Structure 1
C-alpha cells in the first residue's frame, strides 16, 4: 500500500497524545516556545499562543484534529517506499514534534527512501535536543518512536518476519522434528484400552525389573510407604509392574516427569 493511502491508527493517535500531553493553559516548552493543547505552537483562531492563554479540552481536541493532516501529508508526500502501520505511526509522531519541513529534509527520510530501514530507525535519536542540549524527555520519546517504527512497541506484535526455520517452543511440548524427542514421545505415550501393552508399559516394566534391588525392608503387617508409592504410580499410569520390588522415589519422579512432558 502506498503511503498516501495510510491514516494514523488509533494506537498511533493515543501514543502521540501521550507523548505531547494535554495542557489547557499556555506554557513555555523546552525550546522556549509558547505551547498549548497537545503540543500546539501555532495560533488558536487568529490569536498566537501566548502567556495567559487558556483553552478547553474540546478546543485542544479540535486543534489536534485540524493540524494532524499537515503532518500526515509530510510523511505521505516525502516517503516513496512501502511502510507498515507501525512505521507510518512513528514517522507521523516524529513529524508532529519536529515540524513538517524539518522532517521532509531529514537524513531519516533519505535513508528510508534508500531502503536503509535500520539506518532510518537510528536517525530518530538525531532529534533528541532542545535548546541545543540533550533532553531526557525527548530521548525517551525518540526511543519509544524508534521501537514503534521497528514494530516492538508495547502491546504491538513485531513487524519483523520470523525466520523460515523458526520453531515455536509453545507449539508442542515435544519438538517432533528431533529424533530423540520422537523416541521418547513414542516410548512414553499414555496407555489406552486398545493398546494395553504399549511401549510405555514395556519401558516401565523393563525399568522396574532391571533396577538394583532395594535393601530388604523389615516385614510389616501393612505395605511400606515405598510400596504404596509404587502401587499408586503404577495405578496412575494404568500398568501392572512385572516385579514387586519397590521404586526409589527419584526414579518414580523421573518417570512421571517424562510422562507428564509427553
Structure 2
C-alpha cells in the first residue's frame, strides 16, 4: 500500500486536532511537545521548557513527522483503502505513534476489511495511562467519522450494457480509486458491464466481466447516492 499519500484534507485534519504552538509545552500526558504535536528532538536537542521555533520550522517538522508516522501504516496494510480511511488512520498513528497500527486486533480487522471492527478497535485508544481523556474520546470519534466518510451503503445492482468513454479512465482491480490499475482505457473505447454501484458520495462504478475475474471502472461522480456526472455514454 506504499502509494498512499496523506491528502490536503487529512493534513489539515491533523493540524486542527494537534494544534500548533511555537513554544514548548507539556501535552495532557506530560510529554514535552512543540509545533504540531512534535515530541522528538529539534535540531538534535531534546524539547525543554523555553524552546521556541519558527512557523517554517514547525511546518518542516510536521512534514517529517507525517512521513515517519505513516511509514509503518503503508507497509502493513495490505488492502485498498479510501482516501478518507487512509487519512483517518494517518491521524490515528500520528497521535499514538507509528507502531500502533501493529496492534493485532486492529491490523487484522483492517486487512480483512472489517470496518466495523476496525473502528471499534480505534475507539479503545482514549486513555493516557489509566485516565480516560475526553480530548482523546473526541479525536477518536472524529477519526472514525472521517474513516467512514467515503464508505458506501449501496449494493451492486445487476444491469447489462455498454459504456463508451469520453475520456481516459483507469480500469481497476476493485471499486476503489486506490486499487491497482489493470489498464488505462482511452476515449472512444467501450466496455461491456454486468453491474453497477452508486457510492453515497464518490463515484458510479461499473463491473466488467473478465476471463480472470472482474475489472472496475468509475463512469462518473455521485453525491447523496445519485449520479451527478457522466464520463461517457451508455447503450
What TM-score do you get using the length of structure 1 for normalisation?
A: 0.58
2:9 aligned with 1:11: yes
1:162 maps to: 154
Corresponding position of 2:218: none
> Given the alignment of the two structures, is residue 88 of structure 1 paired with residue 80 of structure 2, yes or no?
no
Rg: which structure is higher? Answer: 1
Matches within 5 A, 1:49-198: 49-151=47-149, 158-163=150-155
* Cα deviation digits, residues 165-193 of structure 1 (max 9, x gap): 79x9998xxxxxxxxxxxxxxxxxxxxxx
Task: Please name the residue that 1:40 is paired with.
Answer: 38
Shift of 1:161: 4.2
**Residues 88 and 149 of structure 1 are in contact (CA less than 8 Å); yes or no, is this contact kept in structure 2?**
yes
CA distance in 1, matches of 2:82, 2:103: 21
- Structure 1 runs (4+) deviating above 3 angstroms are 163-166, 168-171
**What is the rounded CA distance, in whole Å, between the counterparts of 1:163 and 1:82 in structure 2?**
18
> Structure 1 residues 59, 129: CA separation in 2 closer, same or farther (over 3 Å shift)?
same
Cα shift readout 1:75-126 (whole Å, capped 9, x = no counterpart) = 1011111111011000110011110122223521121113321100111111
Cα offset for 1:52?
1.1
Superposition deviation, residue 73 in structure 1: 1.1
8 Å CA contact 1:22, 1:37 repeated in 2: yes
TM-score (norm 2): 0.64
Equivalences, count? 162
Distance 2:48 2:102 in 1: 28
Which structure 1 residue ranges, 5 or more long, are not aligned? 152-157, 172-262
Report how far residue 25 of structure 1 moved: 0.8
Give 1:164 shift: 5.5
Question: Is the Cα–Cα contact under 8 Å of residues 30 and 131 in structure 1 kept in the other structure?
Answer: no
Q: 1:1-39: per-residue Cα shift (whole Å, max 9, x none)?
A: xx2111000000010110100011111111110000000
Partners of 1:111 and 1:169 in 2: how far apart? 28
Higher strand residue share: 2
User: What SS class does the counterpart of residue 47 from structure 1 fall into?
Assistant: coil
Q: Distance in 1 between matches of 2:139 and 2:23?
A: 22
